[in-house]
Amino acid sequence: MPLPETNPILEGVRWKQYHKVMGPTLKDVPDESWRDVQEEKSEDMIHVLQFPYNGEPPRVSYARTIWILESH
């Protein structure tokens, strides 16, 4: 089975629902968190999980870092 060109963003639906039922103080935390991620993280990050946030550098950047570390 071929791999998809991009990773899907897992939304973390259960975490969002949990925060929503906790009341007005926490209900907006997932949206605020995702907004912060979009503003602060590099555009070429691979977003794996929207909330709670989990991301990783692009494969090319990651491979380059490993090569640099191993060559020294």
What pLDDT digit, counting tens, does each position of 15-63 carry?
Answer: 889 889 989 988 998 888 888 888 888 777 777 777 777 776 666 655 5
DSSP H helices in the chain: 13-21, 29-40, 59-70
Rounded to two decimals, the pTM is: 0.59
d(CA 58, CA 70): 18
Quick one: pLDDT at residue 64? 60
Exposed / middle / buried, residue 42 (Cβ in 10 Å: 0-12, 13-18, 19+):
exposed
